Amino acid sequence: MFQPHQILQERYQLQTQLGRTGAGRQTWQAIDLETEEAVILKLLAFNPQLEWGDVKLFERESLVLKHLNHPRIPQYRNYFAIDESVGSGLPWFVLVQEYIPGISLEELLDQKRRLREPQAYCLAEDLLEILIYLHELSPPVFHRDIKPSNIILGQDQQFYLVDFGAVQDRAKAEGASFTVVGTSGYAAPEQLWGRAVAASDLYGLGTTLLHLLTGTPPAELPQQNLRLQFRDRALLSPGFADWLEQLVDPSLERRFTTAREARRALQANLARPTTPIASVNYGRLAVLSVAGLIVGGSLLLLPRLPFFDQFVPGKPNRIDQGQEYVGAMNRAQQAHFLENDRFADTLERLGLGIPTQTSHYTYSIKNLNLGNATFQYGVARRPGLKSYVGAVFIIPPTFKPPAFSPPGTGRIEMTSAQTRAIVCQTTSPSQLPPLPPMLNGYEPVCVGNTVELNF
């Protein structure tokens, strides 16, 4: 049997065993001694219990990975066989692929973690982008086993789709006898009788999102006429819930046909105008609440910040956490107002997953009774730390002459309502709530012993 530090093919030194299924399948993290890079080795034993279909799937995974080139799919490195003298009396097939440092979404679920809608939207966008690539290859490639354990949240805060052991390309599927693959609860109904199409992967994405949003495995969700009932188990906007419902429709004919269509529908459903303010994409704005800036009603996209820090185990609270969280709360409030015409009154409704209390700070929201301003607090719980207050003000519509109005027409234009935001920090360490900012004309300003922070 294989052991840590054992070297295979005079090149790959085994480090840590990551998984094992019976005596015939093993997965190891290893070091490529030629490149000094970490890699993953998937091993399949050619033993009497092995079915020929398993060998074909293993070879197909190697062949398909070899021809894929996408930054969110682990790259193919090598494929070889080792003889009985090395494999404890059995020959083994070995697939070598890129190692993705990170944590699987199944591990997050095991820790009783759940995603909020903005995070689920971000995951959906990333996975749909990968599926568009796979499904639009010639011939198309279908993953057939999308589930939390096959999605890695990398250390770079990006999502990766891994484990192509059930992969099928349509050219080989047409006219062939099928092997039923997939995981119960996540696999689309048509996969149970051996059929897999692009919409099958979309179903797997949908059930994965439901598990991450509700904390309940899809096989355990209640059903009505084979439809999964999930709306009462997670706080979701109507547009996102509608989109999820179509994604996991048991009828293949009523489901989205392609990943590109699903992405288009996601963006359309989450861009419903609800106020005189311009139509907005709430899901993307919610992501921008931690990945960018909303300044004066305009969006400025920045590189993604560590959006999922609160889900990664063992990561300590940072001293500057209060500043980052209050800024994120501000931006999420702007997104919430654009979508709902009102501010969120609790952290839970804000949907960022920020707790009310950490080891360093206490977080809270206070809205003015008139509904025209909201204040986000991050109050220090330890001596030596500064406290923070963020504010979002509604700037009412104003009237102005049109930019190019013919003389004598007398027409005027009404500007859209906008929001203005500010984050203030106490000038010295304080464990008391700071004084809330105020409006000076149409511009927010910090008051008392606080100063404005620039993001």
Which amino acids are annotated catalytic? 145
Helix (DSSP H) and strand (DSSP E) numbers for the chain: 10, 24
User: Is residue 412 within 8 Å of 400, Cβ to Cβ?
Assistant: yes
Residue 392's SS3 state is strand
| Helices within 294-448 (DSSP H only) | 321-340, 347-350
Q: How far is CA 259 from CA 73, 96, 247, 272, 396, in A?
A: 17, 29, 10, 21, 40
Read off φ and ψ for residue 377, nearest 5 degrees. Answer: -110, 140
Rounded Cα gap, residues 392 and 422, in angstroms: 7
C-alpha 285, offset from chain centre: 14
CA triplet 204, 206, 208: central angle to 5 degrees? 70
**C-alpha separations of 127 from 34, 39, 131 in Å:** 32, 23, 6
What's the rounded Cα separation, in Å, for the pair 176 and 89?
34
**Closest-CA residue to 127 (of 240, 259, 251, 245):** 259
Q: Helix (H, G, I), strand (E, B), or coil: what is residue 232?
A: helix
Distance CA 134, CA 164 (A): 12
Buried b (16+ CB within 10 A) or exposed e, 213-246: bbebbbeebeeeeeebebeeebebbebbbebbbb
